[in-house]
Amino acid sequence: MSSDKQITGYDVCYSIHTALRKCCDSTPTSLLWNLIHAFDGRADDAWHFYGELVAHHIADGRSAVDAMKNAAVTLGASARFDVPEGFRDRHAGLRSSTEGACALTAIRLTFELFSEQDWDGAAGYLGD
């Protein structure tokens, strides 16, 4: 991404999904690619919520990998204060629907399987 343009949540989602296909070759990255590909409805909202969290962390100056890791931890947050302000209501809404909560959990648990190489590959198109 160009340094003069702020990355959006959509950009993050698109870049990670592409990187999972082009820069990664492990079981966890294949699992995440297939989850994202299958998402619709509230599950798709969960994926885009994750992308917006990553974009928020990148805008705060974190590296792409660090932003991705921090956003992944936020998906499993059970307390409102663990979620960045401005994202709390949406996080609570996703957690209150079965489909949204399952998608948040599936994404977070898949990220827990990632190796450092997987994180680097998944962030491959986000730039730094």
pLDDT in tens, 87-101: 999 899 999 989 999
Residue 30 CA to residue 94 CA, distance in Å, equals 24
pLDDT value at position 128? 56
The structure's pTM equals: 0.91
Residue 6 CA to residue 62 CA, distance in Å, equals 13
Torsional sign, CA 15, 34, 78, 89: positive
Cα distance from N-terminal residue to C-terminal residue, the chain: 8
State the average pLDDT for the chain. 91
For residues 7-27, give the mean pLDDT: 94
Q: Does residue 6 or residue 27 have the better pLDDT?
A: 27
For residues 22-44, give the mean pLDDT: 92
pLDDT at 69 over 80: yes
2 confidence band (pLDDT: 50, 70, 90): very low
Q: Does residue 76 or residue 30 have the better pLDDT?
A: 30
Is the backbone of residue 13 left (phi > 0), alpha (psi -120 to 50) or beta? alpha
Q: Running DSSP on this structure, what letter comes out for residue 127?
A: -
Question: Tokens for 76?
Answer: 């499993």
Q: Does residue 47 or residue 40 have the better pLDDT?
A: 47
pLDDT at 77 over 90: no
Helix, strand, coil percentages for the chain (3-state, nearest 5): 70, 0, 30
For residues 76-85, give the mean pLDDT: 82
pLDDT at 4 over 70: no
